[in-house]
Structure 1
């Protein structure tokens, strides 16, 4: 028993989580296809959802119009003939065929409006059709502004290395940032221990070439953890729910879960480690300020009389080191020479005494002084001979 169209449309709205702006039948052909294939198409948000017929609940294919480059008419308008448009997307070109020119113009207006978020300059529409298109544009702008977030600044190159984290990050190109090569138990543990890092982890499934998604979400009764299977197909991926959801990439899988949780749950991204200490390295000495070590010979005290021995090569501990005196030693005076000098000094002294004396008393004193000096000189001479 087939379900009513009202129930089917309600389930489609639940699966896509996007408002419906326009719908109808058309045919589609990719560049690799030989013939056109018929579809029932719904324009929800800025995406086209293609169904095999009007009774299918889950869409077969999704086309993102935000990446649309151009939409061109293949041939000139003819009222009673089919109209074909060529849509240029980043990876391919798609042809859409409408049953007549009026339907084709209406589809062109909605597709370009939702892709560019503005009305095209030239539209051949009835006043009522134009009013509906303007209302849809207002609703879409409001939806985008509600869910949009400011773009993040570009990530510095020194933070893009995966070696900065200890998590088992995937090295496969094109994978979402929240993909980790972990098991179900490990993923649940990561979400439980680090709730600040996010609540969505994409991981490999136990089935080959398939994936699984672990979700940690807050509910009225507390936090719960759930696991979902994501099956890989030829045309993309299917999220295995009560009503399966088909998407074209794993990034759209993550986006779908974020939309369904009203962006309250974010992909898990491991936090970066920070250092907590600053190490101060010693400053190397400047070459011009380096002080050379003194290279001097040690001087020791003689063990017999306690005098320094300048010729000793051993230095006692605790003693100061004195540099060598390289000045030439003074020549020692001969004893005879010292005696002659002393006698000359006595003679000069005697002359001074005689010249300063005027009376006899002084002369007597001078004689006594001379005797004393003579006695001193004799003692000195005897000492030198000894």
Structure 2
């Protein structure tokens, strides 16, 4: 007895919460396979789920169309003839074969609209089909806004590590494990969360086991291409468990691979999703940095003296007592020469010249008298010895000589 279609659709809806946009029969094969296999396909979101037939409730295969690079028509477009498309994904090429060209054109329109977030040009569809396609585009944009391509993945750590031939050291113990250096992402892309470490699964688990006080969630690169991984340490009643989850990077965002796939726009939203689901009982792994508690005094340079300079004392001025005589001399006015003065009394000057002239005349008279005395010395010697001229007579003689 076959299961009703309504019950099948309900069961399929419980597997994923992605909306159903289009469905139908098609054939699929990989590029390395020789023949096509028939499937019943459902386009939910940007994922193509393949079932064995329309009565099967669980899909047997799925294609992530978010990794679609191109969709090329291989066979010429002719009505009532099979249509073959080649889908180029990141890792493989897939060929889809539709029964006729009309069905193939509908599949092409829905797939490109969901992936590119726009309706392709030159679609050969009816107006009613174009309206349905526009409704799908509006719903997909509301569900997952268009995001730029994700940043490039960080370099993956090597699976084995070889020590140098000249140095041998034992493996680190779990009690002394220190977190490795964080990966520095490209400056042009968005920054990685603070709990991202470029480590393997074993190293991440050892870090969480050795230092539970630092946190319980580590984001790391995965061994698969275009994927990340999230390692967490969760406490339960019987102890604790370590779990690892896969996060796939697509053009539409980052897909958390759960029973019900969840798509978010960034790695920070991936971390936020796990924090909300665990009611913030788990915290991102953040290695604590050690702080110094002692200040060391560095020696002072030789050219700088560490002792405080002594203040220089200025001696007091000692003034000798001024003598009374010196004070009096300073108080007396200084005499100036007549030549240096600005004004000369003419009368006084004439009187002085007259005295000098009279003195010169007197000297001439005395000289003349001396000559006369020598001539009359012999005659008047006896007379001079006995008598002595009085001063009045001398004066009278001078007067007579002047006259």
Q: Normalising by structure 1, report the TM-score.
A: 0.51
Partner of 1:334: none
Shift of 1:140: 1.2
Shift of 1:146: 12
Alignment check: 8 A CA contact 1:68 1:90 kept:
yes
Partner of 1:77: 77
Partner of 2:229: 177
Query: Aligned in 2, Cα 1:88/1:283: closer, same or farther, shift over 3 Å?
Result: farther
- 1:265 is the counterpart of 2:303: no
Shift of 1:62: 1.0
Shift of 1:167: 3.3
Work out the CA distance in 1 between the residues paired with 2:22 and 2:48.
Answer: 10
- 1:93 is the counterpart of 2:143: no
Query: Aligned in 2, Cα 1:279/1:165: closer, same or farther, shift over 3 Å?
Result: farther
Work out the CA distance in 2 between the residues paired with 1:70 and 1:171.
Answer: 27
Partner of 2:141: 141
Partner of 1:382: none
Shift of 1:30: 0.3
Work out the CA distance in 2 between the residues paired with 1:201 and 1:94.
Answer: 33
1:306-345, CA deviations, whole angstroms, 9 ceiling, x for partnerless residues? Answer: xxxxxxxxxxxxxxxxxxxxxxxxxxxxxxxxxxxxxxxx
Within the candidate set 195, 205, 209, 1:167 is matched to 209
Query: Any gaps of 5 or more consecutive residues in structure 1?
Result: 181-186, 204-212, 214-250, 292-386
Partner of 2:32: 32
CA RMSD of aligned residues (A): 4.3
Matched residue SS, 2:15: helix
Partner of 1:19: 19
Shift of 1:81: 1.2
Work out the CA distance in 2 between the residues paired with 1:64 and 1:106.
Answer: 19
Query: Aligned in 2, Cα 1:88/1:273: closer, same or farther, shift over 3 Å?
Result: same
Query: Aligned in 2, Cα 1:40/1:158: closer, same or farther, shift over 3 Å?
Result: closer
Work out the CA distance in 1 between the residues paired with 2:238 and 2:138.
Answer: 41
Query: Aligned in 2, Cα 1:269/1:67: closer, same or farther, shift over 3 Å?
Result: farther
Query: Aligned in 2, Cα 1:159/1:288: closer, same or farther, shift over 3 Å?
Result: farther
1:124-159, CA deviations, whole angstroms, 9 ceiling, x for partnerless residues? Answer: 1110100000001111111114999xx962357996
- 1:127 is the counterpart of 2:139: no
Query: Aligned in 2, Cα 1:49/1:106: closer, same or farther, shift over 3 Å?
Result: same
Query: Aligned in 2, Cα 1:159/1:97: closer, same or farther, shift over 3 Å?
Result: closer
Partner of 1:44: 44
Alignment check: 8 A CA contact 1:20 1:45 kept:
yes
1:213-250, CA deviations, whole angstroms, 9 ceiling, x for partnerless residues? Answer: 9xxxxxxxxxxxxxxxxxxxxxxxxxxxxxxxxxxxxx
Q: Normalising by structure 2, report the TM-score.
A: 0.49
Work out the CA distance in 2 between the residues paired with 1:178 and 1:190.
Answer: 19
Query: Aligned in 2, Cα 1:4/1:200: closer, same or farther, shift over 3 Å?
Result: farther
Matched residue SS, 1:8: helix
Shift of 1:275: 3.4
Partner of 2:59: 59
Matched residue SS, 1:112: helix
Work out the CA distance in 2 between the residues paired with 1:188 and 1:79.
Answer: 58
Alignment check: 8 A CA contact 2:46 2:115 kept:
yes
Matched residue SS, 2:50: strand
1:328-381, CA deviations, whole angstroms, 9 ceiling, x for partnerless residues? Answer: xxxxxxxxxxxxxxxxxxxxxxxxxxxxxxxxxxxxxxxxxxxxxxxxxxxxxx
Work out the CA distance in 2 between the residues paired with 1:52 and 1:253.
Answer: 23
Alignment check: 8 A CA contact 1:178 1:268 kept:
no
Work out the CA distance in 2 between the residues paired with 1:77 and 1:152.
Answer: 43
Within the candidate set 244, 247, 260, 1:202 is matched to 244
Larger Rg: 2
Partner of 1:256: 260
Work out the CA distance in 2 between the residues paired with 1:276 and 1:178.
Answer: 26
Query: Aligned in 2, Cα 1:135/1:283: closer, same or farther, shift over 3 Å?
Result: same
Work out the CA distance in 1 between the residues paired with 2:223 and 2:18.
Answer: 30
Partner of 1:296: none
Partner of 1:277: 291
Work out the CA distance in 2 between the residues paired with 1:252 and 1:31.
Answer: 28
Query: Aligned in 2, Cα 1:107/1:277: closer, same or farther, shift over 3 Å?
Result: same
1:77-128, CA deviations, whole angstroms, 9 ceiling, x for partnerless residues? Answer: 1112100000000001100000111111111000000011111122111101
- Count of residue pairs brought into register by the alignment: 234
